Structure 1
């Protein structure tokens, strides 16, 4: 978060256009890995900001590892997502409009372990039994992923 933190020192809570890199992990049973976020208690997939001079894929792998303890194997690009739904204010007042490049990961190594500074808990969930509420900024990508599997994200 060095680059974003440096910008925040200059701009305070004013809106930032932010590039995110995220991973929707699916296990062999078709369950989706979600995390309950520490900052707002809402459920989300793993992801975060791309740092200066970091590739988007490197950022996705780094964020996935930091938040889950897992090393991502092959990543498949689901898509690039941006919409008014992805403009939000963090609990600390920081405002962002996010552009998120989201990958699907079906193979990884390591032991599932949350980072308590960012994640309350981690869990795998069937697509028709996702925990609520889902992070609003994740909804466009999560729905695109679920569309491929014949599921609909509850409103």
Structure 2
């Protein structure tokens, strides 16, 4: 089985079903995006929605956001999820490598992400492919 990563281009029934299956594996507090929300993500010039397939089935997703700030172009990887049945087949690595390449093509000088410490396998993957933990605090303000 080889992993195929592509950029989502249409919010069709297959993509909606995949997100209904995958998002609960990522977050119990956030509902899956609607068709309109997926279409908005796909259409937004600053985001790329990657999907990964094994045997033609969507088994993972990752969102890359790029933006310009005064110190350069930056990129963030968000909402990485691989179906529990597909883990261990290189899906997460393939998604991240595709996102890193796209960030480079968009002129980003860094790619950042966050990962909960409890996601041990994900943290090992990020370190193995070259991400380095930063000595910083991450803050969130709920609006």
TM-score for both structures, normalised by structure 1: 0.28
TM-score for both structures, normalised by structure 2: 0.29
Which structure's relative contact order is higher, taking Cα pairs within 8 Å and 6+ residues apart?
Answer: 1
Task: Considering fraction of residues, name the structure with more strand.
Answer: 1
